[in-house]
Structure 1
Amino acid sequence: MLNKSKNMKSLTKSIIKLSVIVGLMQSNLVLAKDYLVKNQSEYKKASKKLEAGDKVILANGTWKNFEVVFQGQGSENQPITLQAETKGEVFLTGNSNLRLSGEYLVVSGLVFKDGYSPTSEVISFRRNKENLANHSRVTEVVIDNFSNPDKYDQDKWVVMYGKHNRFDHSYLAGKRNAGVTMTVRLNSEDSQENYHRIDHNYFGPRPILGSNGGETLRIGTSHYSLTNSFTTIENNYFDRCDGEVEIISNKSGKNKIVNNVFYESRGTLTLRHGNGNLVEGNVFFGNGKDHTGGIRVINADQIIRNNYMEGLTGYRFGSGLTVMNGVPNSSINRYHQVNNALITNNSLINVDHIQLAAGSDAERSAAPINSKFQNNLIVHNENKDGFTLFDDISGINFSANQLHNVNKPTISSGFKSANVELKRASNGLLYPVDETFAKMGIDKSVSPITKAEVGPSWYAKKEPLVQFDSGKTITVYPGEDALIDAVKTANDGDVIYLTPGQYTVSKTLFLTKVLTFKGDKDKVDVVFQRKTLFTIEDKGSLKISGLNISGKEAPDSAGNVLISNTKLPTIYNFRLEILDSKISDLDVNHSFHVFDSGYRAFADEIVIKNSQFTNITGDILRLNKELDDLGIYNAEYVTLDNNVFRDVEGTIANLYRGGTDESTFGPHFIMTNNKLKQVGNGKRNKSKAVMTIHGAQVTNIENNVFSMTPAIVINHTVGEPQTVIKNNTFDQATEINVVELNVDGPHTAILENNSFKKTTSK
């Protein structure tokens, strides 16, 4: 009885204690408040009295020039929340940003667009250097084209400081100015060994920047690269992230980069600095797009396991799989030697290039050591293995790797070759049909995340570009202001169709839209009376098809131009196409150019095909405005195909990319099947060249006829420029001049089967 009485008393005490705890919890829950705020003044008032469990709700609508400071001390079970009244219906515009500091904070449902941050960060997990955020979460947030209008004024969209923070299910797309899209900083002890998590985000299209500084995600910096971060990057979707050669730039240790998808993204997941990182279960779909890459390995103790790479075309530092050479006794910001890398069970399907000991030169002379390359599956439709060896690879042990029908493997030991038939599984990946190869390559358990599974479900994932000819057709007839009026009423993607006849244009056509001007070939004549016919401004792109354009009525002044960019720097890349057209009589005065790029303007592509250019006193393409030698240039792809150029006093192209930076893939200059006669001989052509291509990474000049033209000048600067000049006819034309400006020794251009004659026909 005594024991029973004691037990009853003990039970009673426990019940009382439990009741007190429940009561306290209920009391705390009752005290938590919701604040619906409708303007910045109300927000500031509410933000000063936030306690654990409170919610601040921003009313639906547009909040312009709102610099949000969100701080407080929440708890694990009762975080402090900042949220939209309705997800996706609260817009922060103009000069707006968000800073968090404190513990257990949650932000959700906001959209940043139509503006840019007045500071260097749009979303920052700190208020200042002393006040960081920890155990906090930003989820379902959108940053859409929220770019500084000064293209080379760097900022960052999301910066993580502190520890144990999470950024997830968000949308980041359209960053057009310099600076990494998202980064993790380790610049103080309070932000190191942080255990952040970055997951289920949509990293949408990032256009080519045209210089260094266009990474999508960076973890750490070189200064703290020997420090561990313990950040996890998982289940994110990188969609056409083309900013520069590094999509993810890992610059710290002990990170996990797992189960991400890279779709048609130019560049690589780069282990640039830091040791002991895990790269596992990632999927790369290149689909044959130019410069699509996979994984680049540098430093010590890296594990690259169970990754899938398909349809990748990249080479050099952007190849499907690159293992770098290091610098002996490297400084912290250069290239540490690859040591103890494990590269295992990866599938490389139709990967054009696998590069080992890449970057080998007088400085980068430390080849990989103590490393393993095993159980990898390499299948290519062209029955090749794709390997290029740049230095000693004896420090890599190769074992149990499988090739597909390669008669003479580049590496003799550690590889078997057989017919490997593949079949696409329900997860979208290719696997061997024969179970003999089941242990080779990626595991069948991998389930690539889809675009639909990432980002906020309530925000549409938009296409980055409006395509030419994708809108309606606007038919115009010869008459005063016909084209001017059509431009005013047209929308992006529209075609302005010119019916047969002559059009006289009395004003410059300023383009802020993607427009096509089209006519039936040889039936439409256009003359213009201003210094410039077309000016491409921000958001504008131009396609000309089937027009005869004459400059005979342009003002009698030097320096006229048919097409130009606005004189102000632009943030949006543009496109220019001239097809099946005739451009003539740009000769009322000297230096009358066809296209003259603006300073800090950038073309994704310039295409000129099946067209004729005659009687021109200036240049065809002036792409030479970036003379500050910072690795910046004016066009990524320039294509001239099947054109006739006759009596052009200036150059066909003056293309310039200066500096020594290696973070870009371009420019690309492609010139095929053209006929040139009396081009480049004008007295104001100071270059004394038919073209000057300076710093291009890819140059192809093939099957052209040059009659009575001066020299072709190609200047190789940095990287490993690929120059091919072959099957051309030179009739009373001077030499091909290829110069290596930064490397001793003979040039690396391929000059083949070019024919030189001393006479020319009339």
Structure 2
Amino acid sequence: MRHTRKLAIAVGLAGLLAVGGTQLAGAKALVVSSPSELSAVLARAEPGDRVVVGPGTYDNVLIRVSRSGTSQAPITIMAASVGGVRFTGSGGFDLTGASHVVVQGFVFADGGGLTVPGDAKANRVTRNTFDGNKGGADLTVQADDTEVDHNTFSNRTAQGVYLQVVGPGAHDMAKRVHVHHNYFYNHQYHGANGGESIRFGLSGRQHAEADGLIEDNLFDKADGDSEAISVKSSNNVVQYNTIVNSRGTLSLRHGWNTRVEGNILIGGSTGIRFFGNNHVIVDNLVEDTSGPAMEFGGGEVRDDTTNGTDHESSDHCLVAFNTLSGSDSLIWYESSKKYAPLDDTLADNILLGHGPAAAKGTGTSLHFTGNILFGSGAGSLPSGAYRTVDPKLVRDAHNLLRPSANSPAIGAATGSYPQVTLDIDKQTRPSAKDVGADQYNASAPARPLTTADVGPKAP
């Protein structure tokens, strides 16, 4: 019976390898169907080999990966069919010391998930499903140059995060971690804290330069925490993600110098909030929030020097060319703490209010130019911070707010802002930029991500 199953797997192997990528000349496709066979084959795998695991459930079985590939010839460990191999309990892979390894197509359920240790660099975790886990995190990344893509994280009800990125020691971060095309769904832990979909760093690592990239991920029902994406490190890019129907916001909770660009947030309780210095937040579309669409954080400290948990005031940040709509105050300058926001710029945004006031709170040495306000009173926005005119936005085929052909936002931006070269559609902005996230074009290529764009079965 075992030989019959191996033969069936081998017959379909050519098509499977075509989906997973091109196999290098001389590399082997090694088919296994039991934990003992998998361990034995991995102990002798060579760069470029593909270890294909037949269907089954491995309960509390931890498989040691002791061999490494190369950048051009990784070792790939893959389920024969996506989702056909299930690790439960404490089962999974021990990647300690293994580099250039691809883990592809498995299910990690009802247990502790998977860890990429700090000495396991340049590995890829792709097209897996993390479902219903009860441990601290479904996936923990501690290693540089890790790629996390096309996975599904779903159905957590216990405290803990779907994906956490940390690093070695007490204060360092894994560098150049790339998180893309993942589906984060139905996080239903209802505690006050500790249920983020992505936690990129920790308070004690906030000054570590991570150079991470979080892009093209879909978050739906990210309700486990007030933060769906929680960045607690420095020098990152968060771009072109979609967050829908979620309690969680996109939050720069700690750290400096992060760029937030081209994200779409629809129908949440809040939108984007940030603390720390020198962030650039541009070309985002935040629609129909019940709370503030954009929060400039105030802090118990001005500039953190202790790697503590205090909020740090948002200073020297640029918020420009965003389109914000909602029923509460669109802009919140959080000024109830000791240090109010300082030297921040609000420029060339469209503020489409459906409540009594567009802004609340105050700050120090704030700057304003080119904003369009319509639908609500100014609130705490000072005179001269905006002009009141109907931006003439219309809903496109994907229900996104875009300027119509006669919108007064077209060509009306008053600041050059060389930090902004594209719009939300990744179209190049001309020298005469439009106000808001979208540079007017009769075509509208950008849309919210859907389940067809992300997860194990997406292209």
Question: Are residue 429 (structure 1) and residue 420 (structure 2) matched?
Answer: no
Q: Following the alignment from structure 1 to structure 2, what is the Cα–Cα distance between the partners of residues 189 and 146?
A: 26
Query: Residues 44, 302 of structure 1: CA spacing in aligned structure 2 closer, same or farther, 3 A cutoff?
Result: same
Name the stretch that deviates more: 166-175 or 71-80.
Answer: 71-80
Question: The residue matched to 1:239 in structure 2 has which SS?
Answer: strand
Aligned counterpart in structure 1 of residue 106 of structure 2, from 101, 106, 110: 110
Aligned counterpart in structure 2 of residue 313 of structure 1, from 267, 286, 290: 290
1:454: which partner in 2? 454
Question: The residue matched to 2:160 in structure 1 has which SS?
Answer: coil
User: Which structure is larger by alpha-carbon Rg, 1 or 2?
Assistant: 1
What is the CA distance between 1:446 and its match in structure 2? Answer: 4.0
Aligned counterpart in structure 2 of residue 124 of structure 1, from 115, 136, 158: 115
1:138: which partner in 2? 125
1:246: which partner in 2? 227
Q: Following the alignment from structure 1 to structure 2, what is the Cα–Cα distance between the partners of residues 258 and 426?
A: 22
Query: Residues 40, 193 of structure 1: CA spacing in aligned structure 2 closer, same or farther, 3 A cutoff?
Result: closer
Question: Are residue 258 (structure 1) and residue 236 (structure 2) matched?
Answer: no
Question: The residue matched to 1:181 in structure 2 has which SS?
Answer: strand
Q: Following the alignment from structure 1 to structure 2, what is the Cα–Cα distance between the partners of residues 87 and 408?
A: 53
What is the CA distance between 1:164 and its match in structure 2? Answer: 1.1
Q: Following the alignment from structure 1 to structure 2, what is the Cα–Cα distance between the partners of residues 96 and 183?
A: 19
TM score, norm. by length of structure 2: 0.82
2:66: which partner in 1? 71
Q: Following the alignment from structure 1 to structure 2, what is the Cα–Cα distance between the partners of residues 208 and 51?
A: 42
Aligned counterpart in structure 2 of residue 195 of structure 1, from 176, 181, 191: 176
1:345: which partner in 2? 321
Indicate if the aligned counterparts of 2:452 and 2:458 stay in contact, CA closer than 8 A: no
Question: Are residue 404 (structure 1) and residue 374 (structure 2) matched?
Answer: yes
Query: Residues 408, 282 of structure 1: CA spacing in aligned structure 2 closer, same or farther, 3 A cutoff?
Result: closer
1:36: which partner in 2? 31
> AA paired with 1:133?
A
> AA paired with 1:456?
P
Indicate if the aligned counterparts of 2:326 and 2:354 stay in contact, CA closer than 8 A: yes
The Cα offsets for residues 627-680 of structure 1, whole Å up to 9 and x where unpaired, read as: xxxxxxxxxxxxxxxxxxxxxxxxxxxxxxxxxxxxxxxxxxxxxxxxxxxxxx
Indicate if the aligned counterparts of 1:320 and 1:351 stay in contact, CA closer than 8 A: no
1:280: which partner in 2? 261
Question: The residue matched to 2:246 in structure 1 has which SS?
Answer: coil
Name the stretch that deviates more: 263-272 or 323-332.
Answer: 323-332
Question: Are residue 371 (structure 1) and residue 344 (structure 2) matched?
Answer: yes
The structure showing larger relative contact order (alpha-carbon pairs under 8 Å, at least 6 residues apart) is: 2
> AA paired with 1:199?
H
> AA paired with 1:339?
D
1:656: which partner in 2? none
2:80: which partner in 1? 85
Name the stretch that deviates more: 187-196 or 70-79.
Answer: 187-196
Q: Following the alignment from structure 2 to structure 1, what is the Cα–Cα distance between the partners of residues 387 and 402?
A: 17
Indicate if the aligned counterparts of 1:163 and 1:191 stay in contact, CA closer than 8 A: no
Q: Following the alignment from structure 1 to structure 2, what is the Cα–Cα distance between the partners of residues 311 and 400?
A: 22
Indicate if the aligned counterparts of 2:392 and 2:408 stay in contact, CA closer than 8 A: no
From the two aligned structures, give the one with the greater strand fraction. Answer: 1
Question: The residue matched to 2:66 in structure 1 has which SS?
Answer: strand
Question: The residue matched to 2:67 in structure 1 has which SS?
Answer: strand
What is the CA distance between 1:408 and its match in structure 2? Answer: 5.2
Question: Are residue 332 (structure 1) and residue 307 (structure 2) matched?
Answer: yes
> AA paired with 2:359?
F
What is the CA distance between 1:245 and its match in structure 2? Answer: 1.1
Aligned counterpart in structure 1 of residue 295 of structure 2, from 322, 329, 333: 322
Indicate if the aligned counterparts of 1:405 and 1:418 stay in contact, CA closer than 8 A: no
Q: Following the alignment from structure 1 to structure 2, what is the Cα–Cα distance between the partners of residues 190 and 211?
A: 25
The Cα offsets for residues 598-629 of structure 1, whole Å up to 9 and x where unpaired, read as: xxxxxxxxxxxxxxxxxxxxxxxxxxxxxxxx
Q: Following the alignment from structure 1 to structure 2, what is the Cα–Cα distance between the partners of residues 213 and 348?
A: 28
Question: The residue matched to 1:223 in structure 2 has which SS?
Answer: helix
> AA paired with 1:403?
L
Query: Residues 369, 326 of structure 1: CA spacing in aligned structure 2 closer, same or farther, 3 A cutoff?
Result: same
1:668: which partner in 2? none
Query: Residues 191, 137 of structure 1: CA spacing in aligned structure 2 closer, same or farther, 3 A cutoff?
Result: farther
Q: Following the alignment from structure 1 to structure 2, what is the Cα–Cα distance between the partners of residues 432 and 458?
A: 31
Query: Residues 305, 354 of structure 1: CA spacing in aligned structure 2 closer, same or farther, 3 A cutoff?
Result: same
Q: Following the alignment from structure 2 to structure 1, what is the Cα–Cα distance between the partners of residues 317 and 162?
A: 28
What is the CA distance between 1:264 and its match in structure 2? Answer: 0.8
Question: The residue matched to 2:58 in structure 1 has which SS?
Answer: strand
Q: Following the alignment from structure 1 to structure 2, what is the Cα–Cα distance between the partners of residues 408 and 176?
A: 41
Query: Residues 79, 386 of structure 1: CA spacing in aligned structure 2 closer, same or farther, 3 A cutoff?
Result: same
> AA paired with 1:398?
F
TM score, norm. by length of structure 1: 0.51
| Matched residue count | 402
Q: Following the alignment from structure 2 to structure 1, what is the Cα–Cα distance between the partners of residues 457 and 248?
A: 28
2:134: which partner in 1? 147
Question: Are residue 164 (structure 1) and residue 145 (structure 2) matched?
Answer: yes
> AA paired with 1:337?
S
Aligned counterpart in structure 1 of residue 48 of structure 2, from 45, 53, 72: 53
2:9: which partner in 1? none
What is the CA distance between 1:448 and its match in structure 2? Answer: 3.2
1:415: which partner in 2? 386
Q: Following the alignment from structure 1 to structure 2, what is the Cα–Cα distance between the partners of residues 238 and 156?
A: 17
Indicate if the aligned counterparts of 1:123 and 1:159 stay in contact, CA closer than 8 A: yes
- Listed as ranges, the matches of 1:172-183 within 5 Å are 172-183=153-164
Coordinate RMSD, CA, aligned: 2.2
Indicate if the aligned counterparts of 1:239 and 1:263 stay in contact, CA closer than 8 A: yes
The Cα offsets for residues 153-196 of structure 1, whole Å up to 9 and x where unpaired, read as: xx111111221110000100111111221111123499636111
Q: Following the alignment from structure 2 to structure 1, what is the Cα–Cα distance between the partners of residues 133 and 89?
A: 9
List alignment gaps of at least 5 residues for structure 2. Answer: 1-23, 411-433, 440-444
What is the CA distance between 1:207 and its match in structure 2? Answer: 0.7
Indicate if the aligned counterparts of 1:87 and 1:458 stay in contact, CA closer than 8 A: no
> AA paired with 2:74?
P
Question: The residue matched to 2:98 in structure 1 has which SS?
Answer: strand
Indicate if the aligned counterparts of 2:48 and 2:74 stay in contact, CA closer than 8 A: yes
2:424: which partner in 1? none
What is the CA distance between 1:380 and its match in structure 2? Answer: 2.5
What is the CA distance between 1:458 and its match in structure 2? Answer: 7.7
> AA paired with 1:249?
S
Q: Following the alignment from structure 1 to structure 2, what is the Cα–Cα distance between the partners of residues 250 and 262?
A: 15
Q: Following the alignment from structure 2 to structure 1, what is the Cα–Cα distance between the partners of residues 244 and 69?
A: 38
Q: Following the alignment from structure 2 to structure 1, what is the Cα–Cα distance between the partners of residues 161 and 37?
A: 33
Query: Residues 456, 417 of structure 1: CA spacing in aligned structure 2 closer, same or farther, 3 A cutoff?
Result: same
Indicate if the aligned counterparts of 1:88 and 1:458 stay in contact, CA closer than 8 A: no
Question: The residue matched to 2:225 in structure 1 has which SS?
Answer: coil
What is the CA distance between 1:409 and its match in structure 2? Answer: 4.9
